[in-house]
Structure 1
Amino acid sequence: MQNTALTGASAPLDVTALITDPYGTYARLREAAPVHRITGPDGRPAWLVTRYDDVRAALADPRLSLDKRNAAPGGYSGFSLPPALDANLLNMDPPDHTRVRRLVAKAFTPGRVDKLREPVREVAGQLLDAVEAEGRADLVAAYAAPLPITVICDLLGVPQEDRLDFRAWTDALIAPDPGRPHLMKEAVGNMMRFFTGLIASKRADPRDDLLSDLIAVRDGEGDGTADRLSEDELSSLAFLILFAGYENTVQLIGNAVLALLDHPELMRGLRADPGGLGAAVEEINRWDGPAPLAIRRFPLEDLEIGGVTVPAGETVLLSLASANRDPHHFAEPERLDPNRARTGQLGLGHGIHYCLGAPLARMETETALAALLERLPGLTLDVPREELEWRPSMRARGLISLPVRWG
């Protein structure tokens, strides 16, 4: 891994430290300076923001654009998606962002999500039925991954036979193999063909699902031209819902199970009183959430962040993981405490780009944990703690596998 030069730090940072020791590394960076000049995940220079107040303010600052067209020439590269997958909310500013988000937000209201609770409970039960008698399993492969992909695919109307392929493609994008770059390119091509075919199928034979509803909006059944989607926006929105709905939730479930295994007294308390699961999931999202970094941003003008002037167009990375452990905002931030006051954790963002699927991710995680605690007594790790492997990514905090046993 390439060393990363930092402004305001006493020594260069090896970017692998943000994977192997993220919270210790962020603590040192946060103490040294609020903003650091680093080499980003794309190999290009970026500005890393580490302190809570600066991160929270930047998340809601309209002068920080998500639109890649506002990146300086020769700056941000990222990984390239075709227009039919790239015209999504993570690359949009108002007014396009406002229009597109409004069209899909009604599918993720707390009321709509609560109606999905029983179907999610049924999926969780079926997955546990398949492994309960075995006495051991990899909870990522057997539970944390298939549960959210089933839920989000049911919501969109993705056929059962296509779901395993989508999981493999998503994994290739989340943590690309540097030794096999062709896998990411192949995954993007496969996704493009998949969504093109799926939309054509739904257009010819609409069903009672979210994608059919979005196609109806695209094809002229919205409330007016202001509420229409372009064809690229339609396929990109479907891609984002499926991709983000899977990625963040599988990692949050895995991280939450590990947090409970690391805190057996908390696990015992939640088994006795599952009513505390909502607060526990919220705290785990602060303490060890699935998204260490917010989506990259580009200043529309020279902008001061944390006393540092960031030139227009340069890449800004906002560390949610660091902000959520800032001792100037959270008392004893290293301690997992579901009873702490709700003090604005940023694990799912803030401002107009706050995670659209946050209510669904929370509900799925609470339901998944409730079923585990009820069905699998004596749950414990099946390998030494130090042998657990994390995804090799600065952007995604999630376990590759989580071997456990029970009985």
Structure 2
Amino acid sequence: MKTQKLSIATVLILAFSIAITTMSKAEKPIRLAVARMSHGHISFILGRPDKGDFELVGVCDTNRVLTRNVKVRYELPAEIIYHNLEKMLDETKPEAVVAFGSIFDHLSVVEACAPRGIHVMVEKPLAVNMEHAKQMAELAEKHDIFLLTDYETSWYPTTAQSLKMVREDDFVGNLRKVVIHDGHRGPKEIGCDRFFLEWLTDPVLNGGGAIIDFGCYGANLMTALTNGQEAVSVTAVTRQFKPDVYPKVDDEATIIVSYPEAQCIIQASWNWPFSRKDMEIYGDEGYIYALNRSDIKFRGADVSSEVQKKITPDDIPVYEDPFAYFADVIHKKIVQPEYGLYSLKNNLEVVKILDAARESARTGRAVFFKK
């Protein structure tokens, strides 16, 4: 009996040890590297407090002045600074990479990471055009990696609340019109540095000006709201109000995306006197107006007058930290909705809409999608 009890105890101890080891392995910090450093949003990751979910193992950029500036600013150890992406990946062996270079560079980052089995998150939008986007998607699928796209509006509690009210609660009824505003005074006017401006205002490296930089938000949100419904056509008008400041690209854009029974108007600007990111959603039974990340107004069929309230993460499940979302996707704690805001399918549709918008603005004609 004593031997039997000891055997059972041993089995229980071993089982407990295996469970603890498995859990610890699942929660082990993800080895993370940063590819390119010219994007002004790089502070989102390098200035992020250590939450124990990532271990920064390398940062890379070919521009030595930029790498030196970033090293000093964020007090990075010299041994994690690289000037060659492939060398960094092979020596530091990251499990995940975040891309903070030009939109044109996103393809080369995925080309380097995907065959090595490294998951990637890029800043919005996914790619400069559909040719790049398709190649990135094919690489991600072939090598079974996650490829996410990060937008500021994906972190907003009001975005999560709006999506829930439209898609789950059927609050507005049949979706009819969505009007989305995203913009500010202009990247130079708000103080973006020269490394960021060099590509952000370049028609090749960024794909365009405000039409890409801010037009992508509306396309991303509308694709999520419609659960990936394909657009019928895209019509766009761009303007260049500040050719002396932005000689190569547009600084103002209006994009109209038509759907079988709805319309989305995307207003993107580098000319507004103040920064804004807001969304108006109209259906045949109600409306929702997300004024910013926390304030929302709405009225529906069962609401006698307009309601205005603040929405916080206590009210609606939302990741206010995109890197925490990335970590949980990698750990498979969550499954991305098929047309969720970060998802590859959503962001392929975004690039498709932006491509059409650029073509429409160039030709002065609507672009219709073939069925």
TM-score range, shorter chain: under 0.3
Query: What TM-score do you get using the length of structure 1 for normalisation?
Result: 0.24
More strand, by proportion: 2
Larger Rg: 2
| TM-score scaled by length of structure 2 | 0.25
Bigger relative contact order (CA 8 A; separation at least 6): 1
**Structure (1/2) with the larger helix percentage:** 1
